[in-house]
Structures are given as structure tokens and as C-alpha cells.
Amino acid sequence: MFKQLLQHSLLVLRRPTVKTFREVNVDNWQWAFVYLAIGQVVAILIGMITNILQAPAREQQRLALMQRFGSSSFTSLLSNMQNPLFTLATGIFGIFLVVLLWVFLPYWLGLAFGGSKSFGNFAYNNALFITPITILDSLLALTLSGLVGGLFLFLSLSLDAIRFYFVYVNLQATMGLSKGKSVLVILIPVILAVVLFCGLIVFFSIAIVSR
């Protein structure tokens, strides 16, 4: 089954079309979640390596911030990020977040817009691209985030855009939604993600200047 997952992943990544997703036609949400979990475990391991390699740079950033602003919750966060348990905890939380954001939420919204009930197919198809893109994103963090932060941010956001596009195509293929309704389903999580991102910026900005 795992070999089949890899073959189907390559298929949809090479040709992300409605026709391709329909050709896959596998109704198996259990293996979808296993595949997603495997991808997240790999991402956690890569994240731990990234933390080890970037520990000196992050420590310098923490000390510089402490000299300028004093001790704050943000500097404490930078310190906690070096702990492997922190990476493990965020990775486990990431598994549930990935399943919620990229599988359950678009599926529930798709049903609300009149899509057909095909959870097994929808989850399986989404796992085919979410897993490799998640691993690729973690590899970019390993190779670029400590050296070229701006480029890493751009590429990471580009991967998010690719994820949303694939979900958009899958909504049409497995749930039978029109292009217009598929766009609406995608826009709602995008808006939520933007609000969350803005909230994090505000939080960290307050954390930096707080004593």
C-alpha cells in the first residue's frame, strides 16, 4: 500500500488535474492519515536537525534581543525552541493541525456548499500531495531559514499556495464542486490563516517590547 501511495503522489504532483485525481479513485481515509502521520514524523526529525544546526545563530539572536529589549516571552520562546521536546510537542500538534486544516475543514465546507460525501477519496487524495510538500517545506527550513530567511519565507508561502491549489482541484474531482464553489471553500481557510498570521505578528511584537 505504501508503494501505491508513493506512486499516486508522483502522479498527482506531476499532473495536478481533475482528471488525474479522479483516476486515482482510492477510498481509504485510514491510509491517508497514516501517510500524513509519516510525513509529519519525518518533518519533526528534520526540524530537530534544523534546531541543532541553527542553535548558535538563535542563541546570538536571543542575546542581542535581551541586550536591546531585556528579557521577554519572545526571548524565552527562542530559548525553548532549542529543546527537542519543544520540537516534538509542536510536531505532534502539527499532525492534528494538518488533518484539521487540509482535510476536515475543506471537506466540511465542501459538504456545506453541496459537495458529495466522499471523505475517503478526498482524504486520500489530499494526503498524496500534503505529505511530500510538508517534507519539502521542512527541508527548505533546514537549508535556507538560517541563511536566507527571506527566500525561505517566500518559498514556504509558495508551497502553501500550491497546497491550496491542489485542494481546490481535489474538491472538484472528488466532491463534484464547481470552480466557483471550490474557490469559496479555499478562501475561508485562507482568510483564517491570514488572521492567525496577523495575530502571531501582533503577539510577537508585544512580546519583544514587553519586559
Task: Please list the pLDDT of the chain residue by residue as tens digits (211 residues).
Answer: 778 999 999 999 999 999 999 999 899 999 999 999 999 999 989 988 887 777 666 666 656 656 665 565 655 666 666 667 777 777 788 788 888 888 999 999 999 999 998 999 999 999 999 999 999 998 988 887 666 667 777 888 889 889 999 999 999 999 999 999 999 999 987 787 788 778 877 776 766 555 5
What pLDDT score does 31 carry?
93
Considering Cα of 12, then 18, then 20, then 23, what sign does the dihedral take?
Answer: positive
Given a contact cutoff of 8 angstroms between Cβ atoms, the answer to whether 24 and 125 are in contact is: yes
Q: Which domain holds residue 71?
A: 2-209
Residue 209 half-sphere exposure, CB side, CA atoms within 13 Å?
5
Q: Are 207 and 76 a contacting pair, CB within 8 Å?
A: no
Model pLDDT, residue 35: 94
Whole-model pTM? Answer: 0.81
The pLDDT of residue 75 is 56
pLDDT of residue 173: 94
For 26, the 3-state DSSP assignment is coil
Q: What is the per-residue pLDDT for 106?
A: 93
Among candidate residues 173, 160, 172, the one with its CA nearest the CA of residue 130: 160
Q: What is the dihedral of CA 165, 33, 4, 16, to 10 degrees?
A: 0
pLDDT value at residue 201? 76
* Helix residue spans in 70-148 (DSSP H): 73-80, 84-99, 105-112, 119-144
Give the angle 89-3-20 at the CA atoms, nearest 5°: 95
Q: How many domains does the chain have?
A: 1
Q: In a 3-state reduction of DSSP, which class is residue 111?
A: helix
